[in-house]
Chains A and B, each alone.
Chain A
Amino acid sequence: MQTEALLRSPDIVVEPTLTVERLKAYYTTKAFGIDRDIRAVDDISLTVAKGEVYGVAGESSSGKTSLIKTIVGAIRPPLHVVGGTVRFNFGGQTYDIYDLKPDELQAIRWRHLSYIMQGSMNVLNPVRRIKHSFYDFAFPHMGLGRATFWDRVRDHLRKLDLDPGVLDSYPHQLSGGMRQRTTIALATVCTPEFIVADEPTTALDVIVQRDVLTMLRDIQRDLGSSFLFVTHDMSVHATVSDRVGIVYAGRLVEEADTPTLFRSARHPYTQHLVASLPKIGDTTRRASLSGRPPSLADPPPGCRFHPRCPLAMDVCSKEVPPLVSIAPRHRVACFAVTGAPS
């Protein structure tokens, strides 16, 4: 219902590149008689437009990594999809991720859809030169002759300010930042329309992080791809994301354009995240939330944030607040903002 409301909003004219509707994915573990459901993704709906960088923010074990795993169809037990759909739209053709056969899914990965994992610099085979990684991963998907393929790879590297000489190096000869940039080059050489990046800069030093983020931004501008950008670091979102969705305990609690989110967030959790960011040149005291992030195996009833929420009302512990549009491109799930149901 909420997605329909969003689709009707005047901003979105063409069909979005990614449409996620009421997605639910749980981890079910059975260990010696104890069954547990961990609701890592619980009823999430969102869309990503063509050429948009959509940021997903959330704390550790808030379910953001599970969310993107279910979106790219990389689902391995014990994770399984309980309900909802994920649709990609590549060049006017719609692909429903869960209707695809494994080989069809394989075909759209790399070609249309690319996934940059956390610590992905480790995907490079340590005992082979980097060009072998390019050949193994990308060559089968490009459908080009060898000479054209290598020309394309070198062009791509040059465009990303990487010396094509890296192709003849071994991964250990490169620094961590260089390796991460090389992997990003590898992930984008097929000019995918949709790129999912999961904490791509988390393990990197600040100066390198800035370089990598600039590079990702450039790629996005060059290729016109859509990005799903996941990180817990709000200041990274401030730098790269066009729109940010805040995930708390498996649910989307607020979503808005980045400037709106930083200037006038409405959900108390988002407000706290933004307000607690320390800044150089500012020593005013930063407060911290009380309580702890809930366990996904046994989340609190109603709004999952209510035990820590300064605005909590009676209804918050009983009913789940729906994600409601309060302005164009601004959705929030909070009874204190949208009014309690009568």
Chain B
Amino acid sequence: MSLLLDIDHVGKTFTQGGLLSRRSIEAVKDISLQIEAERPEILSVVGESGSGKSTLAAMVLGQQLPTRGRVLFDGVDVASIRSGADRRAFMAKVQPVLQNPFEAFNPLKRVDRYLFATAANFMAATGKPTRQEIEARVDRALVEVGLTLAEVRGRFPHELSGGQLQRTAIARALIPDPRLLVADEPVSMVDASLRMSIVNLFSSLRDRLGLSIIYITHDLATAYYISDRIIIMKKGEVVERGNAREVLDNPQHPYSIALKNAVLTPDFA
């Protein structure tokens, strides 16, 4: 059994303040978590603001290094990645999907530019790609998310809807053929009428492309709807973990119970 992602007793402490008044904040305390390479899954990380879920995501993406423990991706310690080439090889396998699609694209630039840049930069590892190869790769990724290059080409972010833009962002992340997507609140800024299409897209990507997805959210209802496994975090610690449906149908930890009870359910039936 090989592990795609192995988070091994990871902790992250931030220090604030100057020389005299140093304070340290433990954003993540001793978390271990594994995703198997052979079994793609959607793993939800649920918690409130300040629970450390975004810090955990940043460590998986290699944006922040843990102060304790190790994050291993495909057996390689993320902290040991130094050279530009290694970094690029790592980024080809782990890609982020950001929260607000309107902020994830520079509003002054056309959106297709990120798609072409991604294709050109990550295909360069196997010889310099031609214009046609790049366009074909971009189009394939867009078809994967239910769009076409014709719809996106030359558009500015404000000319697309939140849903289209978030799909475009996901397509961009798919271009280097990643193994893992880290999606931090990917639907919280998408309009209600388009939200479920993004959520459904995640499960179809898992099934069709064998992609694992870490889905970070505060929304228990969508976590229940798509995820295979769930971990519930509070103040940097995992308070409950397991099969998503089992945990949410029957939460054990007092905090998980409080969280579930706080979910507003429209029940008039």
Contact = CB atoms under 8 A, between A and B. Distances in A.
Direct contact, A vs B (beta carbon within 8 Å): yes
Interface of A: 59-60, 176, 205-210, 213, 232-239, 258-259, 262-263, 269, 272-274, 276-281, 283, 285-289, 292-293, 308
Nearest to A273: B192
Contact of A278 (B162, B225, B264): B225
B99 interface: no
B207 to A, nearest CB: 13
6 contacts: A59-B191, A60-B162, A176-B49, A207-B48, A273-B192, A288-B163
Dominant SS among interface residues on chain B: helix
B110 interface: no
B194 A278 contact: no
A280 B269 contact: no
B248 interface: yes
Interface string B162-202: 11100000000000000000000000000111111111100
A285 B200 contact: yes
A176 B248 CA distance: 26
Contacts of A209: 262, 264
B191 A60 contact: yes
B9 interface: no
A205 B48 contact: yes
B262 A286 contact: no
Interface in B126-150: none
Given A205-B48, A279-B221, A283-B224, A288 B197 contact: yes
B224 A287 contact: no
Interface of B: 48-49, 160-164, 191-200, 218, 220-222, 224-225, 245, 248-249, 258-269
Contacts of B267: 238
B258 A280 contact: no
Contacts of A239: 264, 266
A258 to B, nearest CB: 8
A210 B264 contact: yes
B250 to A, nearest CB: 10
A288 B195 contact: yes
B265 A235 contact: yes
A200 B29 CA distance: 32
Nearest to B159: A295
B195 A276 contact: yes
B264 A236 contact: yes
B59 to A, nearest CB: 22
A281 B224 contact: yes
Contacts of A213: 264
Please give me the 8 A-B residue pairs with the lowest Cβ-Cβ distance, nearest first: A292-B161, A238-B266, A288-B197, A205-B48, A235-B264, A59-B191, A278-B221, A210-B262
Contacts of A236: 264
A146 B96 CA distance: 56
A273 B193 CA distance: 6
B222 A278 contact: yes
A286 B191 contact: no
A46 to B, nearest CB: 21
B200 A206 contact: no
Given A59-B191, A210-B264, A280-B263, A292 B164 contact: yes
A262 B268 contact: yes
Contacts of A207: 48, 258-259, 262
B249 A281 contact: yes
A283 B262 CA distance: 20
Centre residue among A236, A258, A277, A283 by max chain B CB count within 10 A: A277
Contact of B266 (A60, A235, A272, A289): A235
B196 A206 contact: no
Contacts of B248: 280-281
A289 B194 contact: yes
A293 B221 contact: no
Contacts of A232: 191-192
B167 to A, nearest CB: 11
Given A60-B191, A283-B225, A287-B196, A263 B264 contact: no
Given A207-B259, A238-B266, 6 more contacts: A205-B218, A213-B264, A235-B263, A238-B267, A281-B224, A292-B164
B193 A59 contact: yes
Given A280-B221, A285-B200, A288-B200, A293 B264 contact: no
Nearest to B47: A205
B48 A278 contact: no
A209 B163 CA distance: 26
A237 to B, nearest CB: 8
Centre residue among B49, B191, B218, B248 by max chain A CB count within 10 A: B191
Contacts of A269: 193
A250 to B, nearest CB: 15
Contacts of B162: 60
Centre residue among A234, A258, A279, A287 by max chain B CB count within 10 A: A279
Contact of B224 (A233, A278, A288, A293): A278
Given A238-B264, A238-B268, A277 B161 contact: no
A235 B225 CA distance: 16
A283 B196 CA distance: 12
